[in-house]
Amino acid sequence: MKTLIVGGDFGKSPKSSSIITKLISYFENTTVLNGGSIDEISNVASNCAIYDLVIWMPNISNEIEKIYPQKGRGAVLFCSKVLRENRSESDAIARIFRMNGNGVLAISKEENLFSFKLIDALGNCWIKTTELNLLAIKMLELTAWTKASIRTATKAAEFEFPEYPEELKKLVELNKIVADNFEAIGSRYFGNVSTRCMKMFPSLRLDTVYMLVSKRNSDKQRLSTDDFVKVRYQNDIEYIGTEKPSVDTAIQVNIYKNFPNINFIIHGHGYIDGMPFTKRYYPCGDLREFEELRQLLQDNGIVNLINHGFIIFANNIARMELLVNNLRFSDRAIGNEVPVL
């Protein structure tokens, strides 16, 4: 495995970091940039697709335009965030999404020692430690776990698509109720929404799944009927247009394919009180999560995804409305929840 580690100060007063100097000893086959010029780090950022693991911890003045690494497909990226005054672990997690990363090192100082908390994109804490050797072990563990994901790619295509279901507007309204209720407990709502498209016309194959899925990286709290991507599953998962569907599309395709009576899904990143949990934690879009879900799915219901969130599913919009109107949410312990592997 090829690893890139970047840290230290960059810009007018370049300086190496003692943390980086110590950290690199725990990784093999490593390329290091520990302090330097803006040109140097810009060059590395645009040419790091050859690495399997990128650890990005540079200190760059806020006056300089942000420099983010362009990781390769299937690579793992860890970024960092120093938790100074008025900065929280939520700010650290937000950096993961801005950088298309897999985890963040939230760094604070405790009794003259640097403390490192490794948090993944769903807010789970893999370790909190002042020991760099223990941190490196967990970083490698999270890297291996991430790379073991089973994923199905989506690809753009052109194809005939059924009429939009008339229940779509109601589904959007129900999603807003979920988002508002979740926001009321002080949390930001993440997730996705989808529906099977059932109005067929003669040229469509009956063995094909057609669905509408919310756009990737869209604001699910303000979702409208225009924020859905047309998706078809035959041998591949295909979508129409330039906007990609949610990263969880492959999991929801499998739900619709294997459970023909499920027609509506709302997924979010909190927990719902009193509902069953899956046993193991998998990242968004990992098909192993469907195998965890399979044994708990029915025509209508709710399942909590351990270390991840919830999924609400129903065979008709009236049942979905009944489920949504009787929910009690619990916030996940973001930054403190330990993953169940």
246: closest CA among 263, 262, 268? Answer: 268
Structural domains of the chain sorted by starting position, each given as residue range(s) with its CATH number in brackets: 3-147 (3.40.50.10300), 154-330 (3.40.225.10)
The yes-or-no verdict on residue 220 having pLDDT over 70 is no
Reported as a pLDDT band with limits 50, 70 and 90, residue 91 is: confident
**How high is the pLDDT of residue 274?**
94
**How high is the pLDDT of residue 305?**
96
What does the buried/exposed string (b/e) look like for 301-335 if buried means 16 or more CB atoms within 10 Å of the residue's CB?
bbbbbbbbbbbbbbbebebbbebbeebebbebebb
**Is the backbone of residue 46 left (phi > 0), alpha (psi -120 to 50) or beta?**
alpha
Reported as a pLDDT band with limits 50, 70 and 90, residue 219 is: low
Helix axes 317-324, 168-184, angle to 10 degrees: 10
**How high is the pLDDT of residue 128?**
96
**How high is the pLDDT of residue 189?**
59
**Pick from 47-56, 66-75, 134-143: least confident:** 66-75
Q: How far apart are CA 268 and CA 174, in angstroms?
A: 13
Q: How far apart are CA 62 and CA 40, in angstroms?
A: 17
**How high is the pLDDT of residue 217?**
76
The yes-or-no verdict on residue 204 having pLDDT over 80 is no
CA 108 from chain centre, in angstroms, equals 24
Average pLDDT over every residue of 304-318: 95
**How high is the pLDDT of residue 195?**
96
330: closest CA among 270, 287, 280? Answer: 270
Length of the chain: 341
Contacts of 29 (CB under 8 A, 6+ apart): 1, 2, 3
* 300 or 148: which leads in pLDDT: 148
pLDDT tens, position by position, 143-200: 999 999 999 999 999 998 988 999 999 999 999 999 888 877 766 657 899 999 977 6
Q: How far apart are CA 150 and CA 128, in angstroms?
A: 28
